[in-house]
Amino acid sequence: MVSPFPAPSQSQQPAAGATPSASPSASSSQGGVSGSLASPFGAQAQQAGLNIVVLDPAHGGTDPGARGTGGIRESELVLDFVIQVRRALELQGFQVVQTRQGNENPSFDDRSATANAQRGAVFVSLHISSTGLPGTVRVYVNSDLPPVADSNGLIPWDRAQAPFLGLSKTFGDLVQGFLTQRFKGSPDAAQTASVRQLRTTAAPAIAVEISSVTVEDRADLDRMAPGVADAVARGAAAFKPSYVVPNSPGALP
Question: In angstroms, rounded to a whole number, what is the distance separating the alpha carbons of residues 215 and 68?
Answer: 7
Question: In angstroms, rounded to a whole number, what is the distance separating the alpha carbons of residues 80 and 99?
Answer: 14
User: Which amino acid belongs to residue 34?
Assistant: S
What is the pLDDT at residue 144? 84
What is the pLDDT at residue 156? 87
* Angle at CA of residue 32, ends 147 and 111, nearest 5°: 45
Half-sphere exposure of 163 (CA within 13 A, CB side): 23
3-state secondary structure (DSSP) of residue 76 = helix
What is the pLDDT at residue 119? 93
DSSP letter at 42 equals: -
Per-residue pLDDT of the chain (253 residues; tens, 9 = 90+): 775 554 344 344 444 433 333 333 333 333 333 333 334 444 333 446 999 999 999 999 999 999 997 789 999 999 999 999 999 999 999 999 999 999 999 999 999 999 999 999 999 999 999 999 999 999 999 998 876 666 677 888 889 999 999 999 999 999 999 999 999 999 999 999 999 999 999 999 999 999 999 999 999 999 999 999 999 999 999 999 999 854 433 434 4
Closest among 202, 220, 121, 103 to 157, alpha carbons compared: 202
Cβ atoms of 127 and 79 closer than 8 Å = no
Domain boundaries, the chain: 51-242
Question: In angstroms, rounded to a whole number, what is the distance separating the alpha carbons of residues 100 and 249?
Answer: 26
What is the pLDDT at residue 151? 65
pLDDT digits (tens, 9 = 90+) for 29-63: 333 333 333 344 443 334 469 999 999 999 999 99
What is the pLDDT at residue 146? 75
What is the pLDDT at residue 60? 96
Under CATH, to which class is 51-242 assigned? Answer: alpha beta
What is the pLDDT at residue 70? 78
* Angle at CA of residue 8, ends 4 and 14, nearest 5°: 115
pLDDT digits (tens, 9 = 90+) for 165-192: 999 999 999 999 999 999 999 999 999 9
Which residues share a beta bridge with 140? 191, 207
